[in-house]
Amino acid sequence: MQNPFFIKKNNVKINEILTNLNLSKQKKNYVIKDIKDLDSANINDITFFHSIKYLDSLKKTKCKLLITNKKFALFIPKKINVIYVQNILLSVSKITALFYPEALSDNFDSGVRDPNKKKYPGIKFGKNVLLGKNVRIGKKCSIGHNTIIEKNVKIGENCNIGSNVIIKNTIIGKNTNILDGAILGKKGFGFFPEKLKNIRYPHVGMVIVGNNVEIGCNNTIDRGSLTNTIIGDGTFLDNQVHIAHNVKIGKNCIITGQVGFAGSSTIGDRVMIGGQSGISGHITIGDNVQIGGGSGVIKNISSNSKVMGYPAKNIRNFLKENKLND
C-alpha cells in the first residue's frame, strides 16, 4: 500500500549513502530507490540485517544491497552486496533520514481547518473538530468534540470517532469505533543512545486499522518505522492499551486494559490477552493464544497455547508452581 504521509527524496545515490556513513565512495555511483525491511525490499532498494531472528527473511529477501555488521558475515547470501558498519540501526537511521528528511519532525498539522460540511454530507461533527487537507471520511460517520484529523488520513464508512481524539498517518477501515482520548499515528519511541545525546530514529510508516475494530479510550498506537503498525479486522482493544511501532495484531483479538506491546511484535488471530500484560519486542505469538492477566511475554508463543506469569509459561505449570508456593 502506498504511503500518502511521507514524501521520499528522489535520486539518493550509493555514494551519498556511503559519505553519510563516513565510508569510502565507490566508482559506480548508482541510484538507490528506497530503504525497506528485508521482507518488503526489492532489487533496487537497500535493507539491513541486525538480528538472527530475521534469518529466514534474509534468505528470502529480493534486495541486493544490505547493511550489517561483520559479526553476521557468514549468514549473508553471496548474491547480496554488503555495507559493513559498526552500529547497524544507527546507520539505518541516518540513511532513512536521507530518503525522508521530513520524517524526524512530528509537529502538528498547521493546515487543519474547520470541516466544510458541504464536502462531508451526512457526517456528524461535534464542536471544535479540525480536519487537515485531503482527509477522506466515509458515509455515516460521526466525529466527536475537539477531535483533530490531520492531512491525508482515510476513514471508512460507518465509523464512530470519539471526542479528544488525534489521528495522523493512519488509514481506518469500515465500521470501526475509536473511543475518547485515543491517539493514532504518532511517531514511535525510536532512538539510539550515545555518550553526548540520544539520536532519534525517523518513523515513515503508517497505522492501518481494519474493519469492525474497536479502539478504547486513551489508547496510543504508534506508526511504524519502516513497516506499518497494523490492527486486524474485528480486533477489540480495551482502554489504556499501548501499541508500539511496527506491531502487527491479527484478526478478532481481544486485548484488555493496560496491555503494552513493544516494537515489532507480531500477534496472530483470535488472541486473548489479560489486563496489565506486557509483550516484548520482536517476538511472535501464534493464533488462538490466551495470555493471563499480569503476564510478561519475553519469547515466542506457539499457536493454541495458554500461558501466564512472568516470564509467561504454560498456565498449568504456572498454577502448579504457585500452589506449591502457597
C-alpha gyration radius of the chain: 22
Closest CA to 155 of 168, 172, 176, 139: 172
* Catalytic residue, candidates 50, 145, 203, 245: 245
Phi-psi region of 43 (alpha: psi -120 to 50; beta: other; left: phi over 0): alpha
50 is catalytic: no
Contact status, residue 176 vs residue 156, Cβ threshold 8 Å = yes
Looking at the DSSP assignment, which residues form a beta bridge with residue 308? 313
Q: Is the peptide bond before 115 cis (omega within 30 degrees of 0)?
A: no
Q: Which residue has the cell 515466542?
A: 300
| Pick from 216, 208, 187, 211: nearest CA to 275 | 216
**Which of 287, 280, 291, 293 has the alpha carbon at shortest distance from 250?**
287
- 113 Cβ neighbours under 8 A, 6+ residues apart: 130, 131, 132
Q: Report, as residue numbers or ranges, the catalytic residues.
A: 245
